[in-house]
Structure 1
Amino acid sequence: MKASSSLVIVLVSLCGLAASVWSQSSSLDSCSSNLNVDGLPFNTTSLACISAWASENFILRYKQTSANTWSFVLSTPIANSYIGMGFSSKPQMVGASAVVGWFSSSGSGTVKQYALDAQTPSQVKPDQGSLTIVASSSMIVSQSNRTYMAFQLDTAQPESNLIYAVGPSGFTPGSTYQLMQHQDMTVTSVNFVSGQTTTEGTPYTRLRRSHGILNMLAWSILMIIGIIVARHGQQYDPMWFYVHAAVQSSAFVLGLVGIICGFVLENKISASNVSTHKGLGIFILVLGCLQVMAILARPGKGSKLRGYWNWYHHNVGRVLIIFAIANVFYGIHLGEKGNKWNVGYGITIGLLFVILIVLEIQKFRK
């Protein structure tokens, strides 16, 4: 009896495993498999095929079907959101035109063109863009755990910089067709003749990363460490002062370099939506310069002005850090770095504040 029960459990487990494997494999597509999708609005035989976005299993099939007509079929896993494919003259999202498709809650499919005028959702405009989509050629269908978005473009040669995006899970556009910011995206360059694809990533990635990391480290992390040293290391006089000065001076230099990287980056990408971020950065730099000048004009310990100087120095530093933290989070949003950067930076700042609070409590109890 026990043996038969064990056998039943094993068989059920194997059936479950087989079902899971079959379900996962059925949601995959590859260029080695034939395109057998019912109801597409144009002939899809003899399409060229490339792995468009390997990490998301996006497969693109395409063909020039006449002198001025190109056919495209984008195959993706079912995303429970919108999928998009953009065409751009530059390897970047801004300035591109995109074909975006999704299924409503009732299961009906919608495909629309969008003009990607800026990175903010309000500037991603439905029913606008430079693409000429052939009438009655666009469709999005679901089959075998895959989504297929098909469309034809009236063009002699489509742009070779292609942008792929997937929307946040569970989101579908409403009656205004406004999109939320994508969950993930990639930029590629494709040779439509050879089928060779190159992942471009984000333009000026190294410069963007240098700008972000330097400002994160300088204006918030090192500045907070410098405050901790100044407030809770004074029993080690005068060593605490030299450490505090060294940390804050390093923070100022690194922050200055980070802001210069930001100016260079703005010039290279011709960004139109960074005025607030830039203004906050300049304000933070001005506060940093005021702190440096305050150190040079510091009154002696016995001076009547020392108390006023301390109040000024401490509070300007606090204001600087508050604005710096806010601007870093805003910069992560502009750079579309997503939750990983937000969480990592947030945890780091949170730990520093926990340390500061614990030390403040200990100091209060003494």
Structure 2
Amino acid sequence: MKGNSPFIVLITITITIFGLSAIVNSQTDSCSSTLNLQSVTLPFDAASLHCRAVWDAHSYILRYSETTPGTWTFVLSAPAADSYIAMGFSSNGQMVGSSAIVGWMSPTEGGVIRRYYLRGTSPSLVELDKGNLVLTNYSFITTQSATVYMGFQLVTDQPQTKLIYSVGPTGLLPVAPNYRLTEHFDKVATSINYITGQTTSSTGSPYTRLRRSHGVLNILGWGILMIIGVIVARHLKSYEPLWFYLHIGIQSFAFVFGIIGVICGFVLDNKISADVSTHKALGIFILVLGCLQVMAFLARPDKVSKARKYWNWYHQSVGRLLIILAVANIFYGIHLGEEGKGWNAGYGVALAILVVTAVFLELKLWFRK
């Protein structure tokens, strides 16, 4: 510093100090620092809380402890000043059927913490002030150094170990009076050992193989092979009797795949107890229509019978209705399973190919007539 005036040295030191302070204040929370909230009075010893980084993608930090017998204290922190943060307790690791604590900093109401029951995946099925979580009167939510801290206490001997964390979309906070949640921006399912503090993240939902088997079998059976069988029956009748055996063979495979897919669905429903009543009801109705088609085939009248034209009308109408409901239920099931755009795009492409093929053959048939 030789040759510099004391004034310049003072300015340099001041800038350095304030710069370091700004860096420290802008840092997110970490387990290496002691919980010290300036605006909140904690009715427990903060040093007694166990601390774990539970969601690295969004810098979620969880502090927890059984602060008094039968009362568990949780403090969740995250750098999410303009979106809600949520922590759900689940019996099976699924979002549907879990109970959650959600908090956010509102520009008009200040800090807000509410309890929700996630009865389904759509916002209308996320019910305010419901669920199986018993809370004490103590809770808080505050911001400090660009980090949101949400604290609450559960009355329970042992909290559920399967935890779900989510973060809401930026700028879309719940508002009074119904505080309806918008769909989360991101989420993760985890498991925690409250004694050791070990946390594991789930890369997929529970029973992933069973869920995907249910989806693939139903897509292949009801949503693809069934349509191919109809196209064969309509446009290959000039190849007698090949078209008939192809039609019967393809529809038989479709029906078998569909039945196995439905059975997988019942097993999955029994394991996760998800609230998918509409999807389930449609699936059962589709299966009933498939069974009616099989019985209609067995009772098929002879070609020269006067009842044959009524049988044809019935067989074709039920088949069309089955396919329409199956396609709708497949897309609905992909939505419920939260499989993402890949499954929608994959089945959408397959369906588009079948539709284009059917339209081309219809035009060819029309021009021929």
Please report the TM-score for the alignment, with normalisation by the length of structure 2. Answer: 0.77
Contact 2:59 2:78 in 1 (8 A): yes
Residues 6-51 of structure 1, C-alpha deviations (whole Å, 9 max, x = no match): xxxxxxxxxxxxxxxxx9xx78766567767653543645643323
Residues 157-192 of structure 1, C-alpha deviations (whole Å, 9 max, x = no match): 433221222335553222111224445433322112
Q: 1:236 to 1:183 in 2, by over 3 A?
A: farther
Residues 248-290 of structure 1, C-alpha deviations (whole Å, 9 max, x = no match): 110000101111222222333334x333333222221121122
Q: Residue in 2 aligned with 1:104?
A: 106
**Residue among 81, 84, 87 paired with 1:85:** 87
Contact 1:101 1:140 in 2 (8 A): no
Q: 1:241 to 1:197 in 2, by over 3 A?
A: same
Q: Residue in 2 aligned with 1:217?
A: 220
Q: Which amino acid aligns with 1:174?
A: V
**Residue among 227, 232, 237 paired with 1:229:** 232
Q: Residue in 2 aligned with 1:149?
A: 150
Q: 1:218 to 1:342 in 2, by over 3 A?
A: same
Shift of 1:318: 0.6
Structure label with greater radius of gyration:
2
Q: 1:82 to 1:308 in 2, by over 3 A?
A: same
Q: Residue in 2 aligned with 1:172?
A: 173
Q: 1:130 to 1:252 in 2, by over 3 A?
A: closer
Rounded Cα–Cα distance in structure 1 between residues aligned with 2:37 and 2:363: 66
Rounded Cα–Cα distance in structure 2 between residues aligned with 1:252 and 1:330: 20
Q: 1:360 to 1:34 in 2, by over 3 A?
A: farther
Answer yes or no: is 1:39 the counterpart of 2:42.
no
Contact 2:141 2:148 in 1 (8 A): no
RMSD: 3.4
Rounded Cα–Cα distance in structure 2 between residues aligned with 1:337 and 1:89: 21
Contact 2:101 2:114 in 1 (8 A): yes
Contact 1:27 1:77 in 2 (8 A): no
Q: Residue in 2 aligned with 1:309?
A: 311
Rounded Cα–Cα distance in structure 2 between residues aligned with 1:135 and 1:349: 54
Structure-to-structure mapping, 1:1-366, within 5 angstroms = 31=31, 39-42=39-42, 44-45=46-47, 47-67=49-69, 69-78=71-80, 80-104=82-106, 106=108, 108-116=110-118, 121-141=123-143, 143-144=145-146, 146-155=147-156, 157-168=158-169, 170-175=171-176, 176-199=178-201, 201-271=204-274, 273-366=275-368
Shift of 1:124: 3.3
Aligned-pair identity (%): 56
Contact 1:111 1:140 in 2 (8 A): no
Rounded Cα–Cα distance in structure 1 between residues aligned with 2:154 and 2:249: 60
Contact 2:53 2:59 in 1 (8 A): yes
Q: Which amino acid aligns with 2:197?
A: G
Shift of 1:198: 2.9
Please report the TM-score for the alignment, with normalisation by the length of structure 1. Answer: 0.77
Q: Which amino acid aligns with 2:266?
A: F
Q: 1:41 to 1:346 in 2, by over 3 A?
A: farther
Shift of 1:89: 4.6
Contact 1:137 1:152 in 2 (8 A): yes
**Equivalent residue pairs, number:** 340
Secondary structure, in 3 states, of the residue corresponding to 1:137? strand
Contact 2:293 2:318 in 1 (8 A): yes
Q: Which amino acid aligns with 2:235?
A: H
Q: Residue in 2 aligned with 1:19?
A: none
Rounded Cα–Cα distance in structure 2 between residues aligned with 1:213 and 1:53: 31
Secondary structure, in 3 states, of the residue corresponding to 1:345? helix
Q: Which amino acid aligns with 2:210?
A: L
Contact 1:219 1:255 in 2 (8 A): yes
